[in-house]
Every structure is written in C-alpha cells, then in structure tokens.
Structure 1
Amino acid sequence: MPVANRPTSEETKESDGSRYTAPSGSVLVGRSHQGGESGYTTYHYATLVVVTSEGVHATTVGNRSWSDRIKESNSTYVASTDRVLTGRCHTGDENGYTEYQSAEVSVSIDGTTHRLSLTAGEWDSAVKETNHDNRAPKARYS
C-alpha cells in the first residue's frame, strides 16, 4: 500500500509512561530508540493511500483503541488483520508494561466506503533496544 509521506515524531522519553499517538490519518511504520532504558524514542509514521486505475484515494484512519497492557520483556503484539498500529505507551524498563493503539483503515471510492484488510508481513529480526532504528522498508508499504 503506497504512502503519501513518511514524517518523524519529536523525541520522547518512553520510560516515563509517555503515550504516543500518530497524527490524525496516519499509521506507525517504525520506531527508533537512542540510549538505554531511560533514552529517547522517535516514532515514524505515514499516511496511506490506495491506488486504483481511477486514481489515488486517501484513506481514513479511525476507531482507534488501546490494547490491555502487557509486560514488555519477551512479548510480541500483533494487531488483527483489520487494524494497523497507531500508538504506543511504555512505562519503566524492559520489565515494564506496554500498551498499543490500533485503528481501522478505510477508503472511499465513488461514494462507497471500503474497510481495508491488511496482510501481515514478515517480522524483522530482533533488534537490541539500545540504539536502534527499526522501520518498515519502503517495499513493504509502498
């Protein structure tokens, strides 16, 4: 699915429980972290579009909701196939808790709204939390 842009958030200190939500109409496509458990995190987000033979159509991101909190160490969170990640909140170190925000994506074409279903891609190999930059490659969403 093509994207219209790929902006980056301001740095935030995640360990203090900061709640990051992608701007309206955007979805998360990556996360970078510098330093140890008290370091700073930057989120990468994008605006999705649908390309058809009739043209390029903007998507709508809505019905956002937060997951239950899960212990960060040795955990994996996967949004259901009808949802995308739009936010994250983490408290503490690697043994702290994380919540994820997900949302539905839809597109309106010729007056008809279509809710998009997404296919899960391959997981990137595990990255070390300290000093990483993990983003979905453009080929995965463009």
Structure 2
Amino acid sequence: MYKKALAGAIVAVALAPLAATPAAAAGGAAAAETVTVVKASTEFVLEGRNVQFTCPTNQVMTSRGHHGDENGLTRYACSRVLVNGQEVQVSMGGWDQGKKESASTFVAPENQVVVGRWHEGDENGTTRYRTAALYWQGKQMRIISPMWSQLYDENDHDWYAWAEGDNKVMTGRAHRGDENGATNYHYSTVVLGS
C-alpha cells in the first residue's frame, strides 16, 4: 500500500508542471506570438516643397495629417512593428511611378505597407509612395483585412491608423481635387506569415 501511495505521489509531482504548461505538453509547441504596432516618431514637412519623406529605419507609416493648402504643414507619424517585443525588419523598396495628386489612388502591393510619400507642387503635381515588406525571423509578415477610412477634407484633417483598431498600418491613400477636396486612407492589419 505504501509503495502504491509513494508511486502515485511521484507521478503527481512529475505531471504537475505539464498541467501548468499545456503548450509544453503538446509536443513542445511554441506559445502564440503577439504582434504589436507602437508609435515611434512624428515629423512635420512642408509638402509643396518637393520633400521626399521616408519613415526612419525599421518604421512604417501609421498616420498623416495636413492643414492648409500646398504650403501648409503635413504631419507624418511612423511606428515600429514588434513580435513578442522584438522589432521586425522593414525592407524598403523604391518609389512608385506617381500620379497627379488631384486624381490619385494608391494601394501598396500585396503584403507591403507604406513607408514614404513624396509630393511635388500643388494638386496638379505628382505624388509618389514608397513601400516595404516586413520580416520577422526571416519570414515575411502578412498584411491582411484591407479597409478604406472615412473621407476627410485634405486641408484640415488628422488620420491615425491606430484609431481604426489594433495593429493597423497605412497601405494606401486616395485624393480628389485640390486642398479642399477629399482624402481617405487605405489601412490593413499586420499578422505573422504562415
């Protein structure tokens, strides 16, 4: 009887850590990774002066605002994307061909995000975008669930991807007309690749 009780106690003690950590008991499966987008920098530029704005290294665009005409200030906010607190690598591409600002719609290629914007002149000038792919531990991250924001007056607005929900980043923009025209933003969710 004593031997059975002792054996039962040893088994119970040995199995207790496994019950507390089901992931470890399931063949060493890793815990779920957590993706977060954290605001990191803000910069103001005079848009009409042919400024090529690009987010700092390993940051992506998550906000834009503009007040006034082409001589007004444009605000860009960029964020870091983290997986389990570790920064993802942002692999930047080149600038797109550009379009006339007053009739422009841009959406980043599949699984890419916006990291830069370059505007020349007024509403008749050209606007270009720079995109990037995101990598964590050598695997490309996926950009999913694309949506368009509400319409904003270009000459007096501030848009924030994080106001649209968790892990949102800018993936495009559309504009019609001059500085009194409408602007809206294309945004998507960053997730781990499969």
TM over 0.5: yes
- Residue 120 of structure 1 and its aligned partner are, at CA, apart by 4.2
Q: Look up the match of 1:123.
A: 148
Question: For residues 119 and 67 of structure 1, what CA distance do their matches in structure 2 show?
Answer: 21
When you count helix as a share of all residues, which structure comes out higher? 2
SS of residue paired to 1:32:
strand
Count of matched residue positions in the alignment of Structure 1 and Structure 2: 133
Contact 2:36 2:166 in 1 (8 A): no
Q: Look up the match of 1:22.
A: 55
- Residue 137 of structure 1 and its aligned partner are, at CA, apart by 2.7
Q: Look up the match of 1:2.
A: 36
Contact 1:121 1:140 in 2 (8 A): no
Question: For residues 18 and 63 of structure 1, what CA distance do their matches in structure 2 show?
Answer: 18
Q: Look up the match of 1:60.
A: 89
Larger Rg: 2
Q: Given the two structures, how large is their TM-score scaled by the length of structure 2? A: 0.64
SS of residue paired to 1:105:
strand
SS of residue paired to 1:137:
helix
Q: Look up the match of 1:133.
A: 158
Contact 1:73 1:95 in 2 (8 A): yes
Q: Higher RCO, 1 or 2 (CA under 8 Å, sep at least 6)?
A: 1
Question: For residues 22 and 71 of structure 1, what CA distance do their matches in structure 2 show?
Answer: 22
Counterpart amino acid of residue 102 in structure 2 = S
Contact 1:85 1:101 in 2 (8 A): yes
Overall identity of the aligned pairs, in %: 30
Q: Given the two structures, how large is their TM-score scaled by the length of structure 1? A: 0.86
SS of residue paired to 1:77:
strand
Q: Look up the match of 2:64.
A: 31
1:87-138 CA deviation, whole Å, 9 max, x = no partner?
0000111221101000110001xxxx11112014311122111011011134
Question: For residues 63 and 19 of structure 1, what CA distance do their matches in structure 2 show?
Answer: 14
1:21-42 CA deviation, whole Å, 9 max, x = no partner?
0000000011111212211111
Q: Look up the match of 1:45.
A: 78
Question: For residues 63 and 40 of structure 1, what CA distance do their matches in structure 2 show?
Answer: 25
Contact 1:61 1:104 in 2 (8 A): yes
Question: For residues 120 and 44 of structure 1, what CA distance do their matches in structure 2 show?
Answer: 21
Q: Which runs of 4+ in 1 moved over 2 A?
A: 4-7
Contact 2:60 2:80 in 1 (8 A): yes
SS of residue paired to 2:46:
coil
Contact 2:92 2:115 in 1 (8 A): no
